[in-house]
Amino acid sequence: ILQWINTLNPIDTELPVVVDRVRGYAYFVDDQGILKQLNLANGETENVAEGNLPVMVTFTVNANGILFLYREDPDEIVRYNPLRGIGPTTVQVDESLNLGTAFVPADMTFVGNTLLMFDDMAGEGDVVVGLDTDFNIRGQFGSLASDPEEPDVREFLGPIRFLDSNTLNAFIADASNEIDASRIVRFRGATGLDWTTYGEFGSGVGEFDFMDVEPPT
């Protein structure tokens, strides 16, 4: 999909390409910073919300085709329905969600109806926060490992990005260049339950190097 889009529009490779598989659309940001919608059936593209959506850090789409975006200035999450033209609706991460100015979502995805976000520089706060689609907190958990050599359950080495998600679980690329460690972390929704890790640093079978990971395609 990424190669196909790039032949139609030069894209901003620092941001993800997200796909609404149910309705057959892909969303991406072009090299001019404009959020676009690609019809996967005919290859036609158009601007989303006529360019009224904010410059963003990351974004995702849920099973109902609704976009959720995060931007740093101001510090807010934006909800927008591109197919119905409803929105945008915004919520302040610090003032409305009370997550504090230290929480800055680096990536987001959906697990079922829960919007998951993680902060890769969480410090003393929770690494992962889950919201429902009306911006109510469903759960928050996780911390950065104090000892990356022996991380505990619900301790991250350094989350890079969401690799995938489904109706139950999220999968995160997790790595530390401090000790050359790379692994996949799987957990359930916004609870962190069923925490499982897989892999180690390297280039062989079951080995990963997530420190130079490219944006999702």
Find the CATH number of the domain harbouring 70: 2.40.10.500
Last residue of a domain, one of 47, 65, 92: 92
Q: Which of 90, 95, 164, 152 is nearest to 127 (CA)?
A: 152
Indicate if 112 and 88 belong to the same structural domain. no
Indicate if 125 and 198 belong to the same structural domain. yes
Indicate if 112 and 159 belong to the same structural domain. yes
**What range defines the domain where residue 2 resides?**
1-92
Last residue of a domain, one of 41, 57, 92: 92
Q: What is the pLDDT of residue 216?
A: 44
Range of 16-25, 102-111, 192-201, 206-215 with top mean pLDDT:
192-201
Which residues are CB-neighbours of 208 under 8 A, at least 6 positions away? 173, 175, 182, 183, 184, 199, 200, 201, 202
Are residues 167 and 112 in contact, defined by beta-carbon separation less than 8 angstroms?
yes
Does 97 reside within a domain? Answer: no
Indicate if 20 and 81 belong to the same structural domain. yes
Cα–Cα distance, 92 to 170 (Å, whole number): 24
Are residues 216 and 163 in contact, defined by beta-carbon separation less than 8 angstroms?
yes
Indicate if 42 and 129 belong to the same structural domain. no
2, amino acid identity: L
Last residue of a domain, one of 38, 68, 92: 92
Cα–Cα distance, 157 to 145 (Å, whole number): 6
Per-residue pLDDT tens for 23-58? 899 888 887 778 888 898 888 888 887 655 666 788
Confidence of residue 19 (pLDDT cuts 50, 70, 90): confident
The whole-model pTM stands at: 0.83
Are residues 142 and 153 in contact, defined by beta-carbon separation less than 8 angstroms?
no
Indicate if 127 and 180 belong to the same structural domain. yes
Indicate if 27 and 109 belong to the same structural domain. no
pLDDT > 50? residue 12: yes
